[in-house]
Amino acid sequence: MAKAIFILVSLVTLVSAIGVVALPKVLHAALALVFALIGVGALYALLGAGYLAVVQVMIYVGAISVLIILAIMVSQRSMEDSQLQAFVPHRAVTAVVAGLLFVVLAGVSIGAAWPVVETAVPPDTIARLGEAFAGRYLLPFEVASVVLLVSLVGAVYVAREP
Amino acid sequence: MGFLDALPLTVMDWLRGLLGQGLPAWGVELVVGLIKVVLILVVAILPVIVLTWLERKVLARGQDRFGPNLAGPYGLVVAFADAIKILTKEDIIPQAADRQVFRFAPALVLIPTLLVFTVVPMGRGMIAADLNVGILFAVAIGSLAVIAIIAATWSSGNKYSLLSMFRSVAQLVSYELPMAFSVLTVVLVSGGLSTVRIVEAQVIPFALVMPIAAVTYFLASLAEANRSPFDLLLGESEIVAGHNLEYSGMRFAMFYIGEYAHIFVIGALTTTLFLGGYQGPILPGYMWFLIKTMAVVYVVLWIRCTWPRMRIDQLLDFSWKLLVPLNLANLMLVALVFKLAGTGLLGSLLSLVVNVGLLVAVGTFLVRRARSSTSRRTRALVLGEV
């Protein structure tokens, strides 16, 4: 049962991921990205990481994808068909870079040991996560929030009229 | 748990036993899962039929009219007349439309609304999936609605639709924050993200413990559902009905059904978070859930016939300059109160006092500033002067 769901979800995710790079219209690619990200979220849920799955949907689909789509619409003449032209003049370079990246990633994922934890996921993962953030990993957590704050202030500064 | 209260569960268990005789374990789970899916569809779609009638009736009463009264007793058959009318309309796809996305978008509209019902406890033990991240799931799924609206408006190839989309995105992104803060206050007090746990934690309904969070959540979910007074992306007078402008026939009906199902979702989630969910004396749990939900739904309809539509700048100011700071302050105060006084009766009472105090303080401050302000707009907004 879980295996069948896994195969179905991975299939949807992979097809959407191919759609992201292969679809000619940028907005179609962005919508495919939404589905790919939801699929990744579903995979997290299958692995027993419910919190991560929900946060994935909330942050990546609810916020970042919307931002990407809005950026596409604002930066191009959105009422016209926008054909993706970016990689066309540099096909050879793109192919070499992408091929090298693929070799590196494939090497890493084949070489990795992928350890499996035998025990079941504890039910109070969220509480433990919260304790870890407020205790052991307090400093990285706060540093990350400061980075976000700085980028927020920077964005307001850039967008403000002089 | 009384007999009536447990009746749906008893039926489900009996069915499970019956299926177990002929099917392997995974088969039983599959069939039970499918039954749950069908039940959710029924729970989500059936109210739509009632709501289309109810909205007409309530709006008519608000405007001193009778409303539908010819089709059947009290005009009850009007929803079916609606359905027949919509099914017989021609399905038009505009020349300028992006055909694939245009066809796909209406399906996308309904999915988030239906998914939310999986984590709503509709009675004792009557929940499709008691996730340990339940309420977070509802919030995350709620943020998917904007994708459907973007897809629908962009693919229509119409400039009014596009204007509507920019309004809608600004609105949805702004109101997600106060909504998250009010939900966070609830999670803080109940000590869990599971919706069942939140309901069980409400010995006193949270609406009486932290009214600020309750009202904020209600207003923010109105904004998320694009309901009045936050329905300016549907502004008929300026942008000719906005995101569903180019749709006709059954595709338009999907937006229509989505809108009314969303109203029911507002009622269900507000009930779960702030009104004690299925808890209540004498009547079985699911009846209480239905009564409370319909009461909230009635308020939603009532607001539509009494409040005028807000302008986009007022709408964004209201969220960023009032709701967000207010809820941030409320979150900290409630956290402090419950840390010092415990989650018992004393803590709840103190929290109510703090909430009302905060509301009075902010209200006085706003009125004072408006009185001393020379800006006509501020005076009109706060003091109601014309």
pLDDT averaged over every residue in chain A: 83
pLDDT of B383 reads: 65
* pLDDT score for A13: 92
A102 within some domain: no
pLDDT at residue A106, rounded to an integer: 92
What is the DSSP code string of A63-122? IIIHHHHHHHHHHTTTTS--B--TTGGGHHHHHHHHHHHHHHHHHHHHHS------SPPP
Residue A102's pLDDT is what? 92
- Please check whether residue B272 is in contact with residue B117, taking contact to mean a CB–CB distance below 8 angstroms: no
Q: Is the pLDDT of residue B62 over 80?
A: yes
Q: Does residue A47 carry a pLDDT above 90? A: no
Contacts of A70 in chain B (CB under 8 A): 169
Nearest residue to B358 via CA among B333, B341, B336: B333
Q: Is there a contact between B146 and A55 if contact means CB atoms under 8 Å apart? A: no
A62/B144 CB distance under 8 A? yes
> Which residues of chain A approach chain B closer than 8 Å at the C-beta?
1, 25, 27-28, 31, 34, 50-51, 54-55, 57-58, 61-63, 65-66, 69-70, 73, 78-79, 123, 125-126
pLDDT for residue B236 is more than 70: no
Structure confidence at residue A151 (pLDDT) = 92
Higher pLDDT, A9 or B100: A9
Q: Which of B98, B150, B193 sits opposite A126 (nearest CB)?
A: B193
Chain A environment of B168 (Cβ under 8 Å): none
Residues of B near A (Cβ–Cβ under 8 Å) read 26, 29-30, 96, 98, 100-101, 131-133, 136-137, 139-141, 143-144, 146-147, 150-151, 154, 157, 159, 162, 169, 173, 176, 193
The pLDDT of residue B288 is 85
CATH number, domain of A154, equals 1.20.120.1200
Which chain A positions have a beta carbon within 8 Å of B176's beta carbon?
62
In a domain? residue A127: yes
pLDDT score, position A78: 47
Q: What is the pLDDT of residue A101?
A: 94
Q: Is residue A65 part of a domain?
A: yes
Give me the mean pLDDT over the A84-103 stretch.
79
Q: Pick from B100, B147, B154: which is nearest to A61 by CB?
A: B147
Rounded mean pLDDT of A105-133?
A: 81
pLDDT band at A85 (very low <50, low <70, confident <90, very high): low
Size of interface A-B (CB pairs under 8 A): 66
* CA end-to-end span of chain B: 56
Mean pLDDT over A129-141 rounds to 88
The pLDDT of residue B381: 64
Average pLDDT over residues A15-36: 85
pLDDT class of B227 with cuts at 50, 70, 90:
confident
Give the model's pLDDT for residue B377: 65
List chain B residues with CB under 8 Å of A24: none
Of A1, A66, A78, the CB nearest to B162: A78
Cβ-Cβ contacts under 8 Å for B335 (sequence gap 6 or more)? B188
Q: How far is A159 from A64, CA to CA, in rounded Å?
A: 19
Domain that holds residue A8: 2-95+122-159
Instruction: Identify the residue among B115, B131, B144 best suited for mutation to test binding to A, counting A beta carbons within 10 A and taking the highest.
Output: B144
CB contact under 8 A, B143 and A55: no
Smallest CA–CA distance, residue A116 to chain B, in Å, is 23
Name, in order, each residue with C-beta under 8 angstroms of A40's C-beta and a sequence gap of 6 or more.
A13, A56, A60
- A41 assigned to some structural domain: yes
Residue A81 clears pLDDT 60, i.e. is over it: no
Mean pLDDT of B263-286: 84
Asked whether residue A7 is assigned to any structural domain, the reply reads yes
Number of domains in chain A: 1
**Residues forming beta bridges with residue A25, ordered by sequence position:** A83
> Residue A79 pLDDT > 60, yes or no?
no
Q: Tell me which chain B residues have a C-beta less than 8 angstroms from the C-beta of A34.
A: 147
Q: Which of A31, A58, A62 sits opposite B151 (nearest CB)?
A: A31
pLDDT over 90 for what percent of chain B? 1
Cα–Cα dist A84/A96, whole Å: 20
Of these ranges, A11-20, A54-63, B191-200, the one predicted with the greatest mean pLDDT is A11-20
Residue A89 within a domain: yes
Residue B199 and residue B161 in contact, taking contact as beta carbons nearer than 8 Å: no
Partner-chain residue, chosen from B98, B157, B169, that has the shortest CB–CB distance to A66? B169
Q: In the predicted model, is pLDDT for residue B228 greater than 80?
A: no
CA dihedral A88, A90, A95, A101 (to 10 degrees): -110
Cα angle vertex B216, ends B59, B176, to 5°?
100
pLDDT at A14: 92
Q: Percent of chain B at pLDDT above 70?
A: 94
Q: Model confidence over B125-153: pLDDT tens digits?
A: 778 777 788 888 888 888 888 888 888 88
* pLDDT at A82 > cutoff 70: no
Most confident of A18-27, A141-150, B106-115: A141-150
**Dihedral class, residue B227 (left if φ above 0, else alpha if ψ from -120 to 50, else beta):** beta
Task: Classify residue A116: in a domain, yes or no.
Answer: no
Partners of A83 in the beta sheet? A25
Q: Would the CB atoms of A58 and B136 count as touching at under 8 Å?
A: yes
Mean pLDDT of chain B: 81
Task: Judge whether A78 and A72 are in contact, CB under 8 Å.
Answer: yes
User: What's the average model confidence in pLDDT over B26-38?
Assistant: 82
pLDDT at A80 over 70: no
- Out of B143, B150, B157, whose CB is closest to A79? B157
What value does the mean pLDDT take over residues B260-276? 88
Residue B235 gets which letter from DSSP?
A: -
Chain B environment of A28 (Cβ under 8 Å)? 100-101
Task: Tell me the pLDDT band of B378, cut-offs 50, 70 and 90.
Answer: low
Question: What ipTM is given for this predicted complex?
Answer: 0.77
Q: Find the range with the poorest average confidence among B17-21, B231-235, B338-342, B352-356.
A: B231-235
B288-308 per-position pLDDT tens digit:
888 888 899 999 888 888 887
* Residue A83: predicted pLDDT: 54
What does the pLDDT read at residue B347? 77
- Which residue reads 């004393």 in tokens? B346
When scoring A38, A52, A66, A68 by the number of chain B Cβ atoms within 10 A, the one with the most, hence best to mutate, is: A66
> Residue A76: its pLDDT value, please?
62
A28 and B132 in contact by Cβ < 8 A? no
For residue B294 the two structure tokens come to 């319909």
Cα nearest neighbour of B157 on chain A: A79
Residue A91 belongs to a domain:
yes
Q: Inter-chain contact B26–A1, Cβ cutoff 8 Å?
A: yes
